[in-house]
Amino acid sequence: MTRIALVGCGAIGTSMLELLQADKAMEIKAIVVPADAFAATRAVAERLAPGAQVLSSVPVEGIDLVVEAAGHAAIEAHVLPALQRGTPCIVASVGALSAAGFAEKLEAAAVAGGTQVQLIAGAIGAIDALAAARIGGLDEVRYIGRKPPRAWKGTPAEQGRDLEALTQATVIFEGSAREAATLYPKNANVAASVSLAGLGLDRTLVRLIADPAVADNVHVVEAQGAFGSFELTMRNKPLAANPKTSALTVYSAVRALRNRIAPLAI
């Protein structure tokens, strides 16, 4: 039985718990959220993970695997200490690695604990192809993220424009993956994933678009290099509980968990 601590219990965490109810080889032992989310999280736990404790930090004992679906700040607060203790971690908030020196810090914590941190592909595909292509050498990688205006609420995209009033597709950001992930921590984790698998946070070109004509979260990756080239378009359904987040992120996290214990992993 693999004993799991789930960090975060919002749109992703709750949907993960729904799916993981079917997995008899895993047990959710702890759900880690800030104190102001205890009441709501206890209600979710009662329904979907009755054996789980709702806590403000990952227990030091009795956890085999930590899975994060909480936000950038949770990596420093919960993932780093777990790695240092030797507990493997699965991370959804990949954009946290856009902070200067943070990827190195995460790596050092994993080395210190003799364990591994796995960054999930989340809402994007072709991370395997990109990471393989990098070995042969990449020349250019572009990422375009297009979401409905409501998905950009509460972000710098609101500065100087009324998102509700947009009548046509509007470029809200153009720059590096590092800047995108820093400015849009809840919307540009995939920009960080694409860049970490490919040309790096500073050389990956990112464009973010608010588009009233789309209902899905549309992600496009274009890559060229010694391997050849590819163009990928994902049209992801957003989660009802959070329009910023694609449902595929949940499936990606559940896949990562199942692959840790499956005799045959794909």
Ligand X SMILES: O=C([O-])CC(=O)C(=O)O
Count of residues binding ligand X (CB under 6 A)? Answer: 12
From the CB of 197, what's the least distance to ligand X, in Å?
14
User: Considering the rule CB under 6 A, would residue 186 count as an interface residue with ligand NAI?
Assistant: yes
Residue owning tokens 């590819």: 230
Burial class (CB in 10 A: 0-12, 13-18, 19+), 55: middle
Contacts to ligand X from residues 224-243, by CB under 6 A? 236
Q: Among the candidate windows 17-25, 139-147, 183-191, 257-265, which touches ligand NAI by CB under 6 A?
A: 183-191
Q: Which of 29, 147, 219, 260 is catalytic?
A: 219
User: Considering the rule CB under 6 A, would residue 70 count as an interface residue with ligand NAI?
Assistant: yes
Number of residues that this document lists for the chain: 266
Determine whether 219 is an active site residue. Answer: yes
Q: Among the candidate windows 90-98, 153-161, 165-173, 196-204, which touches ligand NAI by CB under 6 A?
A: 90-98
**What is the DSSP pairing of strand 2-7 with strand 65-68?**
parallel
User: Considering the rule CB under 6 A, would residue 122 count as an interface residue with ligand NAI?
Assistant: yes
From the CB of 251, what's the least distance to ligand NAI, in Å?
11
Contacts to ligand X from residues 103-132, by CB under 6 A? 123
Ranked by CB distance to ligand NAI, the top (closest) residue is: 10
Q: Radius of gyration of the chain from Cα atoms?
A: 18
Count of residues binding ligand NAI (CB under 6 A)? Answer: 33
Q: Which helix (H) or strand (E) holds 85?
A: helix 80-85
Measure Cα distances from 192 to 82, 172, 201, 209 in Å.
Answer: 22, 17, 6, 16
Q: Give dist(CA 124, CA 194) in Å, integer.
A: 8
> For residues 138, 217, 69 and 49, what is the CA-based torsion angle, rounded to 10 degrees?
-140
User: Considering the rule CB under 6 A, would residue 190 count as an interface residue with ligand X?
Assistant: yes
7 binds, among ligand X, ligand NAI, none (CB under 5 to 8 A by kind): ligand NAI
182 binds, among ligand X, ligand NAI, none (CB under 5 to 8 A by kind): none
Task: Give bridge partners of residue 200 from the DSSP assignment.
Answer: none
Given a contact cutoff of 8 angstroms between Cβ atoms, the answer to whether 145 and 208 are in contact is: yes
What residue ranges bind ligand NAI (CB under 6 A)? 7-13, 32-34, 37, 69-74, 77-78, 92-94, 122-123, 185-186, 189-190, 193, 241-242, 245, 249
